[in-house]
Amino acid sequence: MTEDTRVLYNADCPVCSFEIDHYAKYSEGRALPIRFEDLNCIDMTDWGLSRDKAARRLYVLRGGQMYSGIPAFIVLWQDMPRYHWLARIVSLPGLHWLASKAYDYALAPLIYKWHLRRQAAATSTES
pLDDT tens-digit map of 9-35: 999 999 999 999 999 999 999 999 999
pTM of the model: 0.91
At residue 2 the predicted structure's pLDDT band, cuts being 50, 70 and 90, is: very low
Instruction: State the Cα–Cα distance between residues 87 and 80, nearest whole angstrom.
Output: 10
Which structural domain, as residue segments, surrounds residue 12? 5-126
* 3-state SS assignment for residue 56: coil
Query: What value does the mean pLDDT take over residues 70-91?
Result: 98
pLDDT tens-digit map of 85-100: 999 999 999 999 999 9
Number of separate domains in the chain = 1
